[in-house]
Structure 1
Amino acid sequence: MNKARLLLTSAKSSDLLCGCLFLFIGVIAAIYSMNYRIGSSFQLGPGAFPVIVSILLVVVGAAQIIRAVFSGGEAALQIDVRSISSIVGALVFAGLTVKGLGIIVAIPGAVILSSLASGSARLLPTLLMAAFLTAFAYLVFVVGLGIQLSLLPEALQ
């Protein structure tokens, strides 16, 4: 008992808690994703992505726990509300506009909104990234996978 108490008092509590949470979610996701077919390396099944993500969560959680245990001091929990809200806003914007306004509006809008999370974002690199991601999404999802996504807003089609 003293050993566990020493561990908790010497570890950064927020890092340790975060690592345990990642580890727990990763293990639960790995267990549930085993119900789906994983497939082969050439033809991945519907369970491949959840398994890969859950393994990554377990690795990140374990690394976070190890870092928390071997570093001294108490961590201060700081939440950057502007960053979180701009990223969540970008996801909500993309989700709400991709069907009605098309990917030519949804993806650049999401990229521009998410760039507000950084205090040092510049306009030209943000616009270039928006253009690249729009073209990439079109090529992968519409051309490559054959998913029916509209490129332009419904009013312009």
Structure 2
Amino acid sequence: MAQEGRAQYEPVAEIGVGAYGTVYKARDLRSGRFVALKKVRVQATENGLPLSAVREVALLKRLEHFDHPNIVRLMDVCASARGGRETKVTLVFEHVEQDLRTFLQKAPPPGLPHDTIKDLMRQFLRGLDFLHSNCIVHRDLEPENILVTSGGQVKLADFGLARIYNCQMALTPV
């Protein structure tokens, strides 16, 4: 994990706020490209960062080696101490223009053509099949966590609740 990348990433706009942190559109000052910054404040325990934060970063680092076209790409991880037991972790992702909810709302009446719907579903299922083939269960699939590029490419995102599993383990129904 790198130290906080404030000098490299310049926030441009807030994209969204979730249960686990705030996501910003930012410019990577080195490349000039836009990225998405997911800033999460985590309370450190006596053993360091909580398991949930470590689990998400480990899972995303595992996925980045595959570079699957239907999974959002993690580009960097930055961390900084915030005083006391709080640490700020910033996950840097490729920036995708919109989520599925926004994409669907923009569709003019009478809605998306059947071929477009089939293509979106095919891409979604390819991403989901990739996760399941690698023993990963997402556990938070909703329109806001399914991203769609301006070219119509689907990318699964937000792995905060995802788990790596094996046949012997029990998962909670949460």
TM-score range, shorter chain: under 0.3
TM-score (structure 1 length as normaliser): 0.27
The structure where helix makes up a greater share of residues is 1
Please say which structure displays the higher CA radius of gyration. 1
